[in-house]
Structure 1
Amino acid sequence: MSALKKAKGFKKSRPGLYLSIGTSLFGAVGVVKQMQLARREDDRLQLLDAIVSGAAILTSVAILVREVRRMDIDDVLADD
């Protein structure tokens, strides 16, 4: 199996999904810092950008969590 195929398979694996969730949550740290800076500078446009970015991160984490739950359901069904 080539390294590229292994990398593509890792993204759909349980550790790959957990890694994706972790990196998304790590991105949330940057959004929080951006929000704090926007509040200090009273920059509403930058604050709006941070809010939209935060919503995108929350959505991606919710999708990844749903995929992990689907894996759990598939594992239970596979045991029968």
Structure 2
Amino acid sequence: MSSIAKAKGFKHSKPGLWLSLGTTAFGAISIAKDVRKAQDEHDNLKLINAVVGALALVTGAALLIRELKQLGDDDVLLG
């Protein structure tokens, strides 16, 4: 198996999914900062942008969690 194929397979492995969830958590910190900054500046357009970004982040995290659960269901050792 080539190293490129291994790298592509990592995304759909448990460690890869956990890494993606970790980066999502860092994204949440950035969005929280954006929301605070928009509120301080009373900039509704920046606030809307931050809220939409937060919704996308939540959706992405939900998809990752669902994929983690599916990997767990397919694992023979986990039962």
TM category, shorter: over 0.9
Instruction: Give the C-alpha shift of residue 49 in structure 1.
Output: 0.2
Q: Which residue of 2 aligns with 1:26?
A: 26
1:7 match: secondary structure: helix
Corresponding position: 1:3 with 2:6: no
Q: Which residue of 2 aligns with 1:36?
A: 36
Instruction: Give the C-alpha shift of residue 66 in structure 1.
Output: 0.3
Corresponding position: 1:58 with 2:55: no
TM-score if structure 1 supplies the norm length? 0.92
Higher share of residues assigned helix: 1
Equivalences, count: 78
**Residues 10-38 of structure 1: CA deviation (Å, up to 9, x unaligned):** 00100000001111111111100000000
RMSD, matched Cα: 1.1
**Residues 45-64 of structure 1: CA deviation (Å, up to 9, x unaligned):** 00000000000000000000
Q: Identity over aligned residues, as a percent?
A: 45
TM-score if structure 2 supplies the norm length? 0.93
Query: How far apart in 1 are the matches of 2:57 and 2:25?
Result: 7
Query: How far apart in 1 are the matches of 2:38 and 2:5?
Result: 42
Q: Which aligned runs of 4 or more in structure 1 are off by greater than 4 angstroms?
A: none
